[in-house]
Chains A and B, each alone.
Chain A
Amino acid sequence: MENPVEEIQTPIRLDYQYTAGEATARFLRGLKQGRILGQRCPSCRNVIVPARGACARCGVATKEEVELPDVGTVTTFCVVHIPVPGSAVKPPFVCATIKLDGADIGLFHLVGGIPPDQVRAGMRVKAQWKPREEWDYTLENILYFTPMDEPDVELDDPRSSAHA
């Protein structure tokens, strides 16, 4: 075809008043105060974090709030060697699922303060918070989780847990 039209521009912009939802709003308000809030399912009794207002397994509303400590155990992790567009975090960095003490659901975050090749599943970690004056309604208030001076723990076999 002669003279193909290869590009047109049709800009689309829509503005929304974002609704976090009641449970997520409580979770985000907690973070701004440096607190990590989960919820306990009335049916399976699991503690879910971040709080979502529902137990994804049981499909029931969760109301009971449970404040969790900022310490936990790495259950699984990966080392990222490629840069993430728009991210200030430079590779290599470690993404991990961290089961906070008292929670039944792993929280997704970074592990830092340790060379990536030394991160282990079962490693005990603690949140490294940003300075208090920088806290906002975001999990980014926590820079990363950093190793604690504690021995590694044996991971539960998920196949033997209550959910199986």
Chain B
Amino acid sequence: MRDVAVVSFAQAPNVRNAGAMNEVEILMPVVAQALEKSTLTLQEIGFTCSGSSDYLAGAPFSFVMAIDAIGAWPPISESHVEMDGAWALYEAWVKIQHGAADSALVYSFGKSSPGQIRDVLALQLDPYYMAPLWPDSVSLAALQARALLESSAYGEKDLAEVAARSRRNAQSNPKAQLAGDFDLAALLAEPYLVSPLRKHDCPPITDGASAVVLAAGDLARRICERPAWIRGIDHRIEPHALGVRDLTRSPSTELAGEKAGAAQGPLDLAELHAPFTHQELILRDALGLKEGVEINPSGGALAANPVMAAGLARIGEAASRILSGSANRALAHATSGPCLQQNLVCVLEGE
């Protein structure tokens, strides 16, 4: 295995509505900043990979337009996944592992504000039985939350605690969309949105973008004082039919965590891509995170949820704490699909 590290990370301010800016315009300064921090130019980058979905902004081939933001001339080696950018990072990591590149630019973007994200996400469901019923993303998450509350010792207070901590942590994240000190009793006094979920149990709707630069071995050491080495990375998917899954557990996260070697050393922090409060509880249990592991110091997806970029941002946020020297071993997680269907775990370490 080659040593591959995150050497830089940049993200756009996470906002409810980026207004007149289209996805390319949101993305362009983010890519420029990630490249600048890495000291590499696009022409020195061996492979470029992105993650996005045209369904968000309703703009066909938005990922092709995004090529304008990076300048593909002379022609570059490039690929795209219709998934969160965390999976684009995985593809880039594989490309570097098999020796086709020594560095990679990974970016992802999502402008959710132009459409109705709760309906848009229904189109990722089975098109024959599920999608025609238009089950929205919050209702599906609520089914999962109810199943968890009924079958475990967790209560609605545990959900509210996740929300309060996430948004408290977000106060130190200048790019976060939702931050602040929230009183637990006040949160629990709020009405239900889709029972048992209240508004604070759900992610904000966010426009945003993220970019990461990966580099291998000596190149990483040369351009970065303290690279965030990827010690393990794995992703697993579960069946798409919700009825055949145990929604109260995340076996795919469990397995991905095991394959990525999450338990092979003490973790300082974990950045979990849990758009809904109850999903953080499921993920924590699946990963067996111990007391003392800081969860989502960035605020996580409850503080900013740029769909298609929120998972890559978890890797970037975890890596940035290693790059800065404030952490030595971190776990990053990304999810995709309804109710945590597909999960990716990445373990990062300092030298």
Contact = CB atoms under 8 A, between A and B. Distances in A.
Interface string A47-64: 000001111111111000
Interface in A33-69: 52-61
A17 B114 contact: yes
B116 A14 contact: yes
B113 to A, nearest CB: 7
B68 interface: yes
Interface string B110-141: 01011110011001000110011000000000
B115 A15 contact: yes
Nearest to A57: B73
The 5 closest A-B pairs by CB, nearest first: A59-B71, A21-B22, A16-B58, A57-B73, A10-B132
Interface in B2-38: 18-22, 24-25, 28-29, 31-32
Contacts of A14: 55, 58, 115-116, 119-120, 123
Contacts, number: 86
B289 interface: no
B71 A60 contact: yes
A20 interface: yes
Given A8-B128, A56-B68, A16 B20 contact: no
Interface in B24-77: 24-25, 28-29, 31-32, 42, 55, 57-59, 67-73
A14 to B, nearest CB: 6
A52 B58 contact: no
A87 B32 CA distance: 41
Nearest to B41: A59
Interface of B: 18-22, 24-25, 28-29, 31-32, 42, 55, 57-59, 67-73, 111, 113-116, 119-120, 123, 127-128, 131-132
Given A19-B114, A24-B22, A56 B72 contact: yes
18 contacts: A12-B131, A14-B119, A14-B120, A14-B123, A16-B114, A18-B59, A19-B18, A19-B19, A19-B114, A20-B20, A22-B20, A23-B25, A52-B24, A55-B71, A56-B73, A59-B42, A59-B69, A60-B71
Contacts of B73: 56-58, 163
A25 interface: yes
A54 B120 contact: no
A113 to B, nearest CB: 32
Contacts of B71: 54-60
Given A54-B69, A59-B28, 20 more contacts: A12-B131, A14-B119, A16-B114, A17-B113, A19-B18, A20-B20, A21-B24, A24-B22, A25-B20, A54-B24, A54-B68, A55-B68, A56-B67, A56-B72, A56-B73, A58-B71, A58-B73, A59-B31, A59-B71, A61-B29
A1 to B, nearest CB: 17
B70 to A, nearest CB: 5
A16 B57 contact: yes
A21 to B, nearest CB: 3
Contacts of B68: 52-56, 59
Nearest to A23: B25
Query: Which of B28, B32, B68, B119 has the most C-beta atoms of chain A within 10 angstroms of its own C-beta?
Result: B68
